Amino acid sequence: MIRFEQVGKVYPDGTTAVDGLSFEVAEGELVTLVGPSGCGKTTTMMMVNRLIEPTSGRILVDGEDIAAVDPVKLRRRMGYVIQQVGLFPHRTVLDNTATVPALVGWKRARARERAAELLDLVGLDPKTYGPRYPAQLSGGQRQRVGVARALAADPPVLLMDEPFGAVDPVVRERLQNEFLGLQERVRKTVLMVTHDIEEAVRMGDRIAVYGEGRIEQFDTPAAVLGTPATPYVARFVGSDRGLKRLSVTAVEPKDLEEPPVARLEEPAREAAARLRTSGARWAVVLNASGELHGWVSADALRRARERDAVGALARRMDAWVPVGAPLKQAFSEMLQHDAGWVAVLDGARFLGVLTPAKLHEALRRSVDADAQGVGREEVDFDSVSDA
């Protein structure tokens, strides 16, 4: 846990970097600090490991005032990932990863074994990549090594300063996904700096939006996008925040419609008669266990031969998402496959379909939930309707 209590930083020339910061990062939580250049977000993070000393207030890590801790020992208790990675060019990947365990007194064999474990954890085969040098790696691979090194001594706290800013957008998205998966397993207390609101929304359990040395809003991504606390926050997150909100609102079972169903082994003529009676133009095709096998049109069923089963006529279902996926992913599937709906699955089991109308309802319900106690007149619904 990291706690800031009225923390400030004023430089000798009178410049105030941060003023009166009070907030808390819970154990196992990932908090993103976001804002424009010069807003104080990096200063905030660097005060946690005392690379910058605060001029007022207190910072506590796991209940201990860091001002009473030797700075070198403090830094060795924290992971630190920076944009340019900071690997030692003359040391192998394995030795780079083992740096902090070696510094805190681990025996060489144990440190290297731990380094190999971490390389494997971030998706780099230690036998293949361990003997290499940083110059022999791609930018994305070097960033993975940087994360592995930061985690090698199993620190409870991880500080990340624009960790994915130096790689191209495709690699950045992949690294973000990989880190979120890694965080699910290791559950570190993470303070991450970024200037990109989309990255902050994607990565953070909560977001601190900075403006001129102060936190303008500290809340969940959904709340920041749905109910900006100040006009500054509204401008910073952008007029398209309804679209951004798609990435933090999950597909839930209550959002789904139940379409007509045809069974895999069912005679096609029987399914055709049922669809004709209901007026439906298509049906999803499920097996006896409720697993999705595709879809079939009413026309295909009507043209079927006497002995045909539904399964012989089923077409592959390309547009689908798992339950709990972001609405943005479902929307993307609709666009990519030019589909009027997407199937939603729980594992292989079919739950229902999400239509554009239901997607909009889910987004509006999410906004309404955050607007409770704020007042609908204070929420910009136009930015949601445009989504």
- Say what the pTM is: 0.73
Give yes or no: residues 140 and 19 share one domain.
yes
Is residue 22 in a domain?
yes
Same domain flag for 116 and 196: yes
Backbone angles phi, psi at 6, to 5 degrees: 50, 50
Tell me whether residue 376 is in a domain: no
Tell the residue number behind the tokens 């279902």, with chain if given.
317
Same domain flag for 29 and 151: yes
170 and 314 both lie in a single domain: no
Structure tokens at 95: 């030795």
DSSP 3-state assignment of 99?
Answer: helix
242 lies in the same domain as 280: no
Alpha carbons 240 and 39: distance in angstroms, whole number: 23
What is the DSSP-derived secondary structure letter of residue 23?
Answer: E
Q: Is residue 174 part of a domain?
A: yes
Q: What is the pLDDT of residue 373?
A: 42
pLDDT for res 85: 66
| Residue 98 maps to a domain | yes
Q: Is the same domain home to 166 and 262?
A: no
Contact 140, 174 (CB under 8 A): yes
pLDDT on residue 317? 86
Q: What string of pLDDT tens digits covers the 387 residues of the chain?
A: 999 999 999 999 999 999 999 999 999 999 999 999 899 999 999 999 999 999 999 999 999 999 999 999 999 889 888 876 688 999 999 999 999 898 888 999 999 999 998 898 888 999 999 999 999 998 888 888 888 888 888 889 999 998 887 667 777 788 888 888 888 888 999 999 999 888 898 899 999 999 988 999 999 988 898 889 999 999 998 867 777 778 888 899 999 999 999 998 888 888 888 888 888 888 999 998 899 988 999 999 888 887 888 888 988 888 999 998 888 889 989 999 888 889 999 988 999 999 999 998 888 777 666 555 443 333 343 333 333
| CATH number, residue 338 | 3.10.580.10
Report CA-CA distances (Å) from 95 to 91, 102, 145, 157.
6, 9, 11, 22
- 186 plus 86 within the same structural domain: yes
| DSSP strand pairing (189-194 vs 206-211) | unpaired
Last residue in a domain, options 190, 220, 249: 249
pLDDT computed for residue 25 by the predictor: 96
Q: Which domain holds residue 310?
A: 253-364
- Amino acid 144: pLDDT: 86
Same domain assignment for residues 146 and 277: no
CA distance 107 to 103: 10
Domain identity same for 327 and 267: yes
What local confidence, expressed as pLDDT, does residue 342 receive?
Answer: 92
Please tell me whether residues 58 and 145 are part of one structural domain: yes
Residue 345 token pair: 């699955």
CATH number at residue 101: 3.40.50.300
Where does a domain end: 249, 276, 299?
249
Q: Would residue 380 count as lying in a domain? A: no
In-domain check, residue 373: no
Phi/psi for 173 (5° steps) reads -65, -40
Which of 249, 276, 310 terminates a domain? The answer is: 249
Number of domains into which the chain is organized: 2
Task: Output the pLDDT for position 377.
Answer: 33
Q: Please tell me the total number of residues recorded for the chain in this structure.
A: 387
